[in-house]
């Protein structure tokens, strides 16, 4: 039996092409985009496009996205009058992605690693819900490679999107445990840095404990004070400024002058990051002029 290729009108092809990339698009925005890109065409009127969208929904090639599913596409509650759409193909890809995320907490170590890799790969396309982030948190207890991939997923969701797991207490506990496990292994420094920044985002005091541990070792090949000079660090440094000044004084009294200066430099950065950067740039320029 010979299979007959599915016929697509040109307008259908254009509609599905926009919906195939995995992002849910608001119907109104989809129509506007098609009209604007085909100005002067009698085939691409609002009425014609709306009619073809309805037909594609009816035959299953387009799937309306329900309000309760919007978060998974990085969208907030749209309200009763908003309509978001995605192609059937993209919808099925998202469904497979969600099932894979479930494998993080109930599958084998290899299933967990594969799912975390997918989550990291598609982080810009699919937004992990708090419940899905909860599934990732236990992976922080795995060996370094798996734990670091999980940490990258959690860091990206929190610092770049503002999303945290529903159970932040468990996340905090796991991050603190991760610091204890890897803090003395310089090859694991990327994970320590991500964990510190994520804890800083949550305003957790463990950041100060890690800074106290790190300060005497600043200026080693892998460990620099600049790891604590990021915008995400500012609020937690400000919140514990008095404790850090006391730490700097104790380090100075103990003969660890460089560590004390580094602590004070971090505190200075947190007061005004842009001014601190300008100051450092000016110092560097003056040093170049001397040579």
> What does 24-42 look like in DSSP terms, one character per residue?
-EEHHHHHHHHHHHTTT-T
pLDDT in tens, 224-239: 899 999 999 999 999 9
φ, ψ for residue 65 (rounded to 5)?
Answer: -95, 125
- pLDDT for res 15: 93
- pLDDT for res 108: 79
Q: How far apart are CA 49 and CA 235, in angstroms?
A: 49
Residue 77 has pLDDT above 70, yes or no: no
Higher pLDDT among residues 242 and 282, named by residue: 242
* Residues facing residue 26 across a β-bridge: 84
Q: Residues with Cβ < 8 Å from 216, sequence gap 6 or more?
A: 251, 256, 259
- pLDDT for res 3: 43
Residue 50 has pLDDT above 70, yes or no: yes
- CATH code for 11-91? 1.10.10
- pLDDT for res 79: 58
Residue 94 has pLDDT above 60, yes or no: yes
Show the tokens assigned to 51: 């009619």
Query: Could you tell me the residue ranges of all domains in the chain?
Result: 11-91
- pLDDT for res 288: 54
CB 218 within 8 A of CB 258: yes
CB 135 within 8 A of CB 182: no
Instruction: Provide the b/e sequence for 218-253 (b: ≥16 CB within 10 Å).
Output: beeeebbbebbbeeebbebbebbeeebeebbeebbe
Mean pLDDT of 72-77: 71
Query: Using alpha carbons only, what angle is made at residue 179 by residues 115 and 176, rounded to the nearest 5 degrees?
Result: 85
Mean pLDDT of 28-39: 92
* Residues facing residue 25 across a β-bridge: 85
Residue 137 has pLDDT above 90, yes or no: yes
Q: How far apart are CA 178 and CA 119, in angstroms?
A: 20
Give percent above pLDDT 90 in the chain: 62
Mean pLDDT of 52-64: 93
- pLDDT for res 198: 97
Count of CB atoms within 10 A of residue 95's CB? 11
**What does pTM read for this prediction?**
0.80
CB 153 within 8 A of CB 112: no
- pLDDT for res 289: 55
Q: What's the mean per-residue pLDDT of the chain? A: 88
Q: Residues with Cβ < 8 Å from 135, sequence gap 6 or more?
A: 101, 102, 104, 105
CB 260 within 8 A of CB 248: yes
Q: What is the dihedral of CA 177, 178, 180, 186, to 10 degrees?
A: 180
Count of CB atoms within 10 A of residue 114's CB? 15
- pLDDT for res 278: 85
Q: How far apart are CA 263 and CA 154, in angstroms?
A: 27
């Amino acid at each position: 039996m010979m299979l007959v290729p599915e016929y697509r009108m040109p307008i259908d092809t254009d509609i599905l092409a926009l919906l195939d990339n995995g992002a849910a698009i608001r119907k109104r925005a989809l129509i506007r985009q098609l009209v604007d890109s085909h100005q002067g065409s009698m085939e691409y009127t609002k009425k014609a496009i709306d009619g073809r969208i309805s037909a594609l929904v009816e035959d299953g090639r387009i799937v309306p996205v329900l309000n309760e599913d919007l978060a998974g596409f990085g969208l907030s509650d749209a309200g009763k009058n908003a309509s978001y759409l995605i192609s059937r193909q993209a919808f099925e890809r998202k469904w497979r992605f969600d099932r894979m995320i479930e494998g993080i907490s109930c599958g084998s170590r290899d299933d967990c690693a594969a799912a975390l890799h997918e989550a990291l790969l598609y982080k810009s396309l699919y937004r992990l819900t708090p419940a899905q982030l909860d599934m990732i948190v236990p992976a922080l207890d795995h060996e370094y490679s798996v734990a670091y991939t999980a940490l990258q997923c959690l860091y990206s969701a929190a610092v770049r999107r503002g999303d945290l797991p529903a159970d932040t207490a468990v996340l905090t506990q796991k991050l603190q445990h991760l610091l204890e496990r890897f803090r003395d292994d310089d090859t694991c420094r990327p994970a320590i840095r991500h964990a510190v920044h994520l804890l800083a985002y949550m305003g957790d005091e463990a950041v100060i404990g890690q800074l106290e541990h790190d300060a005497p070792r600043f200026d080693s090949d892998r460990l620099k004070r600049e790891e604590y000079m990021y915008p995400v660090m500012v609020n937690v440094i400000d919140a514990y400024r008095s404790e850090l000044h006391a730490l700097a004084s104790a380090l100075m009294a103990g003969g660890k002058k460089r560590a004390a200066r580094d602590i004070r430099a971090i505190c200075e950065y947190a007061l005004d990051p842009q001014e601190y950067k300008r100051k450092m740039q000016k110092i560097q320029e003056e040093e170049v002029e001397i040579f």
